[in-house]
Amino acid sequence: MAKIVLDTNFLLVPFQFKVDVFKELERIVEEKNELVVVSPCVDELKSLAAGRSRDALAAKAVLSILGKLPVKIVPGTGPADNAIAKYAEKEKAVVCTTDIELRRALKKKGLQAIALRSKSHLAFT
């Protein structure tokens, strides 16, 4: 079973761009998989939700439905990107992110990433 790690910014995509990332993941990932969020991403969402911006509203929405999503929250330490990269490397997981720097770091480690393309669909990078 493949593990797919969802980054904080990726969880905001449905609210920012009206893209159903879960249906898109079903479309592009053929094998059975488990969706994972590392705990520092949840902390980032909580911090972001404390603001008053559109992203804050999106973060609040994600936090309110996170327990209802088919996502497993796993422990992690340090900054979210570091925790994601560490977990992905250990588990040979695919990472879903819109963060270019994180995608570059993952590529250097030989790990795959999935990103939003043309603000309309997901694709492997």
Element (H, E) at 89: helix 80-91
Domain total for the chain?
1
Q: Which of 45, 101, 34 is nearest to 113 (CA)?
A: 101
CB 5 within 8 A of CB 36: yes
| pLDDT for 1 beyond 90 | no
Provide the residue range defining the domain that includes 56: 2-124
Q: What is the pLDDT of residues 51-101, one digit of tens each?
A: 999 999 999 999 999 989 899 999 999 999 999 999 999 999 999 999 999
Distance CA 111, CA 106 (A): 5
pTM of the model: 0.93
Residue 112: which CATH number? Answer: 3.40.50.1010
Other C-beta atoms lying within 10 Å of the C-beta of residue 68: 7
